[in-house]
Amino acid sequence: MYLVGFLLLLGPLVTLHELGHYLVARWFGVRSEAFSVGFGKEIAGYTDRHGTRWKLSALPLGGYVQFRGDMNPASIPDPNASVEHGSFQDAALWKRALIVAAGPVANLLITIAIFASLFAIYGKPSIVAAEDSRIIGQFSETSVAASAGMEIGDRIIAIDGVPVEDFDEIRGEIALYPSKDLIVTAMRDGVEREFSMTTERVEVSDSFGNTSVIGQIGVGPSDGEYVIEPVGVFESVPLALAHSWDVLEMMLTGLKQVVTGERSIKELGGPVKIAKYSGEQMSLGLVAFVNFAALISLNLAFINFLPIPALDGGHLAFYAAEAVRRKPVGPVATEWAYRTGIAVVLVFMVVVTVNDVTSLAFFGSLFGS
């Protein structure tokens, strides 16, 4: 199930990512020498009338499009290749930038399209009596809010100065920040009060045993009922954009917390964990799997926009430097930058793969014993 889910997830997402590069390049007259689904030895393929070799390769861990003038599938320019008409290097700087950006942009569009479709088909969850859902109706046994002096009936109106409209927003402003000092603003008897507290660090597990760390203050709403509201097709797109932005903000916050040490690097995942989650989400049904695909597509877009040589963002960084300098970065500096970028990516892949493998039940029990 893991393998099937992984192939059904990453295969189409990476192919569409590369197709974004290919289509924009084709639009600008840049020729593609190869378009591969997978890496390694070719299993099957054919050459079209434009000279592009379309092929299925042995390792289904991604894919690539190789333009004329590239030294390898990572689109590293060949310093020994002559700049000929139809090559990537012959294209204007702005065209090269758009070709490179087209891949991650394709993933962004896929994410938005999936979220918009889900909203249009199934509607959006909302809370009836949303304002009342901000009223505290209960405390947990270890509630830091109760310890800070909050009482049943207090209406929470802001977290760290950020206004909240319903209980979902309260939870959203707290869950991402375990062990964080914050100020909760609430109304009691018509008087605005502020309460200082530190969020509780709580480890939660899903039905598959996957754990994550969240922040809590130990309060529950007194009222508010979740319902599904119908959404029109035109309304679904702005909702999808807003939801994509919210998810991206959560990703950025989580990554920042890993860098600053607030979260463990073990919370990062790689191919093995993606395969595991893919199989699990597929077992929950089509909607869960498609929603997970949207999240992974957004991750692909984000990662590829990072300014790391050998990734799309690295190429864009070189083009920005070229625009400022009014000439390309030298071949020696380019080669060393790409080597360094590839090394960084490989080290990162090793780290997340070790995390993935040791998090599996078998290895977890082995190392735990």
| Enzyme catalytic residues | 18
Give residue 221's region: left, alpha or beta (phi > 0; psi -120 to 50): beta
Structure tokens at 220: 């529950």
Residue (of 307, 25, 108, 27) closest to 35 by Cα position: 25
Which residues sit opposite 128 in a β-bridge? 225
Which residues sit opposite 124 in a β-bridge? 229
Sign of CA dihedral 102, 107, 112, 114: positive
Which residues sit opposite 229 in a β-bridge? 124
DSSP 3-state of 88: helix
Distance CA 315, CA 221 (A): 49
DSSP 3-state of 118: helix
Give residue 261's region: left, alpha or beta (phi > 0; psi -120 to 50): left
DSSP 3-state of 7: helix
H or E segment to which residue 156 belongs:
strand 155-159
Are 69 and 77 in contact, with CB atoms under 8 Å apart? yes
Residue type, 348: F
Residue (of 358, 204, 340) closest to 269 by Cα position: 358
DSSP 3-state of 133: helix
**Where are the alpha helices (H) located in the chain, listed in sequence order?**
2-27, 93-122, 144-147, 167-175, 233-260, 271-283, 286-304, 312-325, 331-359, 361-368
